[in-house]
């Protein structure tokens, strides 16, 4: 159980770092160049990020927290379940419902960089905050094992 809890914590940490990095450096860096260049760069990023390592972290974090919740005793189980729920709502659902459709709109030329960047970054920052909250909840679960 301890190994699963540590893996869960690591997955949440990596996911938090990914979202944080986009909001704090990638998007500001892209905003500092011309819109056409930024759009081209973001299209490339959106294609390259879809790989097994992303899926491992993106899907693995909430699933690992859920499994840890089922295997842990109270009160740790509740913290793991809370971490899974926050991650699922704030990371997975926001990604599927908002960020990915915006990526698709940018890719199809249906959204300009000026419209895309502030909205996408705002929602991504929410994903970062939710992921950090999930990380903290999982950490509390780990301490309560």
pLDDT digits (tens, 9 = 90+) for 17-30: 999 999 999 999 99
Using CA atoms, how far apart are residues 21 and 27, in angstroms rounded to an integer?
A: 9
Q: Domain ranges for the chain, please list them.
A: 2-143
Q: d(Cα 79, Cα 134) in Å, to the nearest integer?
A: 9
pTM of the model: 0.94
> How far is it, in rounded angstroms, from Cα 103 to Cα 105?
5
Distance CA 65, CA 141 (A): 9
- pLDDT at site 10: 98
């Amino acid at each position: 159980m301890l190994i699963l809890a540590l893996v869960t914590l690591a997955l949440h940490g990596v996911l938090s770092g990914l979202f944080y990095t986009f909001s704090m450096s990638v998007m500001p860096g892209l905003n500092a160049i011309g819109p056409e260049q930024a759009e081209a760069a973001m299209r490339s990023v959106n294609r390259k990020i879809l790989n097994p390592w992303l899926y491992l972290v993106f899907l693995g974090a909430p699933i690992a927290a859920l499994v840890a919740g089922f295997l842990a005793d109270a009160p740790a189980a509740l913290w793991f379940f809370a971490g899974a729920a926050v991650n699922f709502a704030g990371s997975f659902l926001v990604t599927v419902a908002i960020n990915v459709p915006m990526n698709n709109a940018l890719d199809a030329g249906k959204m300009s960089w000026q419209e895309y960047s502030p909205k996408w970054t705002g929602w991504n920052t929410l994903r970062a905050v939710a992921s950090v909250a999930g990380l903290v909840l999982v950490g509390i679960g780990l301490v309560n094992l």
